[in-house]
Structure 1
Amino acid sequence: MTKTTDASAVRSTTPGGVVRVLSVLVIVAGLVMSVAGGATWLTVQRQLADERITVSEDAKWFAGEKIDGPLTAYAEAEVIERHALEASGGRTYAELDREDPTRQVVMTGSFLRASLFTSVVSFGVAALAMGLGLILAIIGYVLLLVSRRLAALTPSATD
């Protein structure tokens, strides 16, 4: 009784073949994450730039610069907080009476700060996705090298 073996079936079930399939999946996942992170970064950056906002002149950092990144957005959020607290005598929105006319100013400042902080967080998530994607791609490449070594060590089906 002769047993015929399909060489491609043997390759995909050997340890090297399994590692090779896994390596390709990890590389693809890494590339997708990197591209998605980059696209998110660029989208948030464009949206901020389209607003044509500049960092206030009395900011500690980046005064007068266009807000189009995480650092400039954070710098402006700090200025807005300082201005709102100055306008309210150091009190937050929750500490102001409902009839206090500065309550609206402080509320608007809080809203603007939250919007800027959302963009800062979005930049962070995008950077995280790009970084993890790069790491996954590197791990996938290393797994691909391991699969080649395993394939070289495993006897072929025709031997």
Structure 2
Amino acid sequence: MTTTARTTTDRTGTRGVRVVGLIALIAGVLMIVAGAVTWATVSSQLDAQNITVSEDAAFLAGDTVDGPFSAYAQAQVIDEHALAATGGLTYAELDREDPLRDTAMNASFLRASLFTSVVAYGVSALVVGLGVLFGLVGWSLRSLASRPVPAVEAGAPRATV
């Protein structure tokens, strides 16, 4: 079967694809920047607190808490210290009048704050990853939409796959 194709480019319908590609590309760049700024902000705020991972931590002992792993390590060791101080009882398990309840409560608040920063790191990494993906999809759409597509002459048979 013979097909006849013009050498001119037919870009009918590609404008919408190019616009969507541009939007995805811009969104990707914005997401990468937003994720990186969030990561840097959380890091600088944690670093400003001058927290050092306890020497008896399972990992990163003595490290400055300024990243997701050091924040997690410190949260874990705070839990160990609080349970040791309260005889293995959590805040909810301690009697309301027990003076150790304040220790358990403070430990719980500190751990929650550190875990919040760990979650913030995870979300910012996710946003950067999605930004890369959006950028690649946008670049791909624009690249594909800008390629010449041979136009088939009217009445000419179309090749089927």
Q: TM tier, shorter chain?
A: 0.7 to 0.9
Q: Deviations over 1:71-111 (max 9, x none)?
A: 00000000000000001100110000011111000000000
What residue is the counterpart of 1:80 in the other structure?
78
Question: 1:7 aligns to what?
Answer: none
Aligned to 1:54: 52
Cα deviation, 1:101-158, whole Å, max 9, x if unaligned, reads 1100000000000000000000000000000000100111110111112xx1166xxx
**C-alpha separation in 1, matches of 2:135 and 2:150:** 25
- Say which of 59, 63, 66 aligns to 1:65: 63
CA distance in 2: counterparts of 1:124 and 1:153, whole angstroms:
42
- Name the structure 1 match of 2:116: 118
Measure the CA separation in 1 of the matches of 2:45 and 2:118: 12
TM-score normalised by length of structure 2:
0.85
Aligned pair 1:43/2:41, yes or no? yes
Deviation >2 Å, runs of 4+:
none
Distance 1:93 1:17 in 2: 61
Alpha-carbon distance, 1:18 to partner = 1.3
Q: Which has the higher helix share?
A: 1
How far does residue 17 in structure 1 lie from its aligned partner after superposition?
Answer: 1.3
Q: Deviations over 1:47-83 (max 9, x none)?
A: 0000010000000100000000000000000000000
Q: Does 1:153 align with 2:132?
A: no
Partner of 1:33 in structure 2? 31
The answer to which structure has the higher strand fraction is 2
1:21 to 11, 15, 19: 19
Alignment: residue pair count: 142
1:153 alignment partner AA = V
Distance in 2 (CA, whole Å) between partners of 1:93 and 1:71 is: 25
Q: % of aligned pairs identical?
A: 53
Unaligned runs of 5+ in 2: 1-9, 152-161
Aligned residue identity for 1:39: V
Rounded to whole Å, the distance in 1 between the matches of 2:21 and 2:128 is 18
